[in-house]
């Protein structure tokens, strides 16, 4: 029996879109929780906006695929990773994240997780427009780099001694 026969491409796309929306909600919650100084809240809103853009790109990919391709079994490795996406962001994780340090590391772990691996896989495998694909992949790299470049958030996290 094919383990992905009951996990078609449209389910992979739907799960990836849901993960992008969950990441967006996480970052918006952090923008509210850590709103002082304003630059920190803006950092989280910027990440949330990126996640919305990712979800919209994935929806465009899904909407452009013909029904037979959407119904085809998903790649087994991608299917396995996508099934695990829902475990990455939970209401409990958001509630337990009470310090800026914890929020930063949760975001870092999330952006280093399978969410972006799946996003990259979907763009590479299913997006036919090479110009849009190049833009989307470059935007993904810029998005992940925000956690590593100097910013109000990173400066605060590091200067506060990474305290919980």
- Per the structure block, which two tokens stand in for 11? 């389910």
**Fold (CATH) for 9-159:** Ferritin (1.20.1260)
Per the listing, tokens 């996003």 go with 119
Compare 119 and 48 and report the one with higher pLDDT.
48
**Residue 128 in this model has a pLDDT that exceeds 90:** no
For 134-146, the pLDDT digits (tens) are 888 888 888 888 8
> What is the pLDDT of the chain when averaged over all its residues?
84
Q: Does the pLDDT value for residue 48 go beyond 60?
A: yes
Q: How far apart are CA 23 and CA 47, in angstroms?
A: 9
Residue 123 CB neighbours (<10 A): 20
Looking at residue 8, the DSSP 8-state letter turns out to be: B
Q: Which two tokens stand for residue 69?
A: 């391709």
Cβ atoms 136, 50 nearer than 8 A: no
Rg of the chain over all Cα atoms, to the nearest angstrom: 17
User: Does position 155 have pLDDT exceeding 70, yes or no?
Assistant: no
Q: Does the pLDDT of residue 63 top 90, yes or no?
A: yes
Is residue 102 within 8 A of residue 159, CB to CB? The reply is no
What whole-number distance in Å separates Cα of residue 114 and Cα of residue 96? 22
- What average pLDDT does range 59-87 have in this prediction? 89
């Amino acid at each position: 029996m094919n383990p992905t026969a009951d996990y078609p491409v449209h389910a992979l796309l739907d799960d990836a879109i849901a993960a992008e929306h969950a990441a967006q909600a996480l970052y918006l919650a952090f923008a509210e929780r850590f709103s002082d100084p304003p630059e920190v809240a803006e950092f989280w809103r910027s990440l949330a906006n990126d996640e919305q853009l990712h979800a919209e790109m994935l929806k465009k990919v899904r909407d452009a695929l013909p029904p037979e391709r959407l119904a085809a079994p998903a790649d087994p490795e991608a299917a396995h990773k996508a099934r695990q996406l829902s475990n990455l962001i939970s209401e409990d994780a958001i509630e337990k994240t009470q310090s800026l340090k914890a929020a930063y590391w949760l975001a870092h772990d999330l952006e280093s997780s399978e969410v972006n691996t799946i996003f990259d896989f979907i763009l590479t495998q299913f997006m036919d427009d090479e110009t849009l694909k190049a833009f989307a992949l470059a935007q993904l790299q810029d998005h992940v780099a925000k956690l590593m470049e100097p910013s109000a958030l990173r400066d605060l996290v590091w200067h506060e001694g990474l305290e919980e």
